[in-house]
Chains A and B, each alone.
Chain A
Amino acid sequence: MNNQELLDNFLNRSLNAEQRIALAEAIDKDLNFKNEYHTYNDLIKGIRLYGTLSIAAEVKAIHKELIPSVLASIAFEADVTIALQLKQKESIKNEILEIRKSMPSSSEFTAKNTLPSERTKTVSMWNFRSLAIAASTLVLIVAGILWIKKDTTQQVIWAEAMAQSFEAIELDAQQLGLADPNQPSRQHHQFIFNLLTQNKIDSAKMANAKYYSLQNKDSEYYLLEGWIHFISKNNTKAMQSFERAMESGDPCLSKLLYAFMKGKDDLDSKKQIEQVKQNEVCQSSDLIKVLIQKMAL
């Protein structure tokens, strides 16, 4: 075995322990051999760098050639997706309107069981045409559940509060702007709300979990988790999630939703709503202002 083969075997660790120790000692004792070893090591590293640079050049050339068309194709795909979503939304909206037409009893029920002040809000809700899908779905679900269970006025109130919150937050999530620094988070929020309005609960759960698998779970995560539980009709879990959102640093919206779920007439809820109204940070949010105004709190 010549020196080259010996050093190759030493560097690729194919010598046994005894041979390795013997060669290491030889390198250490003989200055010429030590220099030869260092040069040889450098040559191998240089060859590896040469290999890496060749692949980098190959990838770079393909990147340069392909990236404009790949980006154009992604942009086109995004446009088509948005167009399809709009089309689907329109079709769901029409479907819901058809269902509403064939179910006059549910609207009568809502009118009978809603307080006068709330009744005014139910009408005003229809002034927001863009909110029709989310709101009408929820109002129908809530009205249906309450009609079956013949629940109390108290429950009607919180259900309406939650329904109105849902529509206001959905509207907020829709107002995307390119300059918005929280755009990815808002897009995620909107995506989850879209799934919820289509009653795709499992997809919403998975999408939220997937999104947050890449970052720490924050108040936004628990807020969305609360909505998912609420739409799944799991009110206990929804309240727990809103509570965790509060604990994770949201002193405004989560607190308000938690209070709505406990019921507007609950003493603690009143206190919490008052805290939100007194909090300057909360008052700087248009969404909170809209909610408080809509609920005439």
Chain B
Amino acid sequence: MNNYDTDVQIIDAIKTGDPEGIKQLYHLYYKMIADMILKNSGQLEDAEDIFQDTLIALVTAIRKDGFTLSAKLSSLIYSISRNQWLYKLRGHRHGPFIPTDGFDPAAEVGQIEEKELFEERHSLIARLIDKISIECQKILKEFYFEEKALKDIGVQMNYTEGSIRVKKSRCMDSLKKLVEEDSDYQQNIKS
């Protein structure tokens, strides 16, 4: 097992998909978050859920193109978890939690977007993505989810800029075809 002692090393590991990066976050910060939740009327199960949600938000942000760490990783994790927990405690269902005690989460969690709202038809599409080629899955995920530049994806996959543009367009067409042929999706948009 590799040792990741610094924030930069952990972030690099997460960026490259090395699971040790996320594991290190568990070892270093789970207790801190569990303490915070337990001291604020939560149970151990809440701590586990909040920590998982925090990591999903954090890993998503880290893997997006252009991520830079503006605060210590511990502060970032604490802020995201605290916001999520306060949000859950106050029972808000729409919009982000707005703190009233002068704490400004935007200062530390600026690059972490609030949860995107998805609907059933988006879940149907997400399932259909498994049916397109692995290469297409990778191209579409990196372009639309990780927000990488098409040119960079091309370099990584040994395609010229023109070729990757055509590839991405074909991948999108094949996904579109699958979606348009899917009866559940058609049923969903009609209702």
| A interface, CB within 8 angstroms of B | 2, 4, 38-40, 42-56, 58-60, 62-63, 66-67, 70-71, 73-74, 77, 184, 188, 211, 213-215
CB nearest to B118 among chain A residues: A49
- For the complex of A and B, the 4 pairs showing the least CB-CB separation, nearest first, are A46-B125, A51-B145, A50-B126, A47-B144
Q: Of the 9-residue stretches B68-76, B90-98, B171-179, which lies at the interface with chain A?
A: B171-179
B118 touches A45 (CB 8 A): yes
Q: Does B129 contact A (CB under 8 A)?
A: yes
Q: Which residues of B contact A39 (CB under 8 A)?
A: 176, 179-180
Chain B interface main SS type:
helix
Measured between beta carbons, the chain A residues less than 8 angstroms from B181 are: none
26 contacts between A and B (CB under 8 A): A38-B189, A39-B176, A43-B179, A44-B144, A46-B123, A46-B179, A47-B126, A47-B129, A48-B118, A48-B144, A48-B145, A49-B118, A50-B126, A50-B145, A59-B22, A59-B56, A62-B26, A63-B52, A70-B26, A70-B27, A70-B30, A70-B31, A74-B30, A74-B34, A77-B31, A184-B41
A55 touching B179 in the complex, CB below 8 Å, given contacts A42-B121, A42-B122, A48-B145: no
Using known A-B contacts A46-B125, A59-B55, determine if residue A51 contacts B141 with beta carbons closer than 8 Å.
yes
- Tell me whether A43 and B176 are in contact (CB under 8 A): yes
Q: How far is the CA of A2 from the CA of B168 in the complex (A)?
A: 13
Interchain CA distance A296-B154 in the complex, whole Å? 85
A214 touches B176 (CB 8 A): no
Are B172 and A43 neighbours in the complex by a CB distance under 8 Å?
yes
Contact with A along B133-165 (1 / 0, CB 8 A): 000010011001110000000000000000000
Quick check: is B19 within 8 A (CB to CB) of the other chain? yes
- Flag whether B169 is at the interface (Cβ < 8 A): yes
On chain A, the residues within 8 Å of B137 by CB distance are 50
**Contact flag A46-B172 (CB < 8 Å), given A56-B56, A67-B48:** no
Residue-by-residue, is B1-44 near A (CB-CB < 8 Å gives 1, otherwise 0)? 00000000000000000010011001100110010101111001
Are B141 and A59 in contact, CB atoms less than 8 angstroms apart?
A: no
Q: Shortest beta-carbon distance, A222 to chain B, in Å?
A: 17
The verdict on A59 contacting B169 (CB below 8 Å), with A51-B145, A66-B26 known, is no
Task: Give CA–CA (A77, B60) in the complex, Å.
Answer: 31
Whether the Cβ atoms of B52 and A49 lie closer than 8 Å is no
Q: Is the CB of B101 within 8 A of A47?
A: no
B76 to chain A, nearest CB (A): 16
Please indicate the chain B residues that have their CB under 8 angstroms from the CB of A67 in the complex.
26, 48
User: Which of A2, A43, A47 has the largest count of B CB atoms less than 10 A from its CB?
Assistant: A47
B176 to A53, Cβ gap below 8 A? Answer: no
Evaluate contact between B126 and A49: CB separation under 8 angstroms: yes
Q: A45-B118, A45-B125 are in contact. Are A51 and B146 (CB under 8 A)?
A: yes
Contact code string B38-67 (vs A, CB < 8 Å = 1, else 0): 111100100010011001100110010000
Cα distance A63–B25 in the bound complex, in angstroms: 11
B107 contacts chain A at the CB level, 8 A cutoff: no
Q: Which of A51, A54, A74, A184 contacts B31 (CB 8 A)?
A: A74
Q: How far is the CA of A277 from the CA of B82 in the complex (A)?
A: 42
**Shortest Cβ distance from B180 into A: residue:** A39
**Closest partner residue, chain B, to A217 (CB atom):** B101
CB distance from B59 to the nearest CB of A (A): 5
Given contacts A58-B19, A59-B22, A77-B31, contact A51 B60 (CB under 8 A): yes
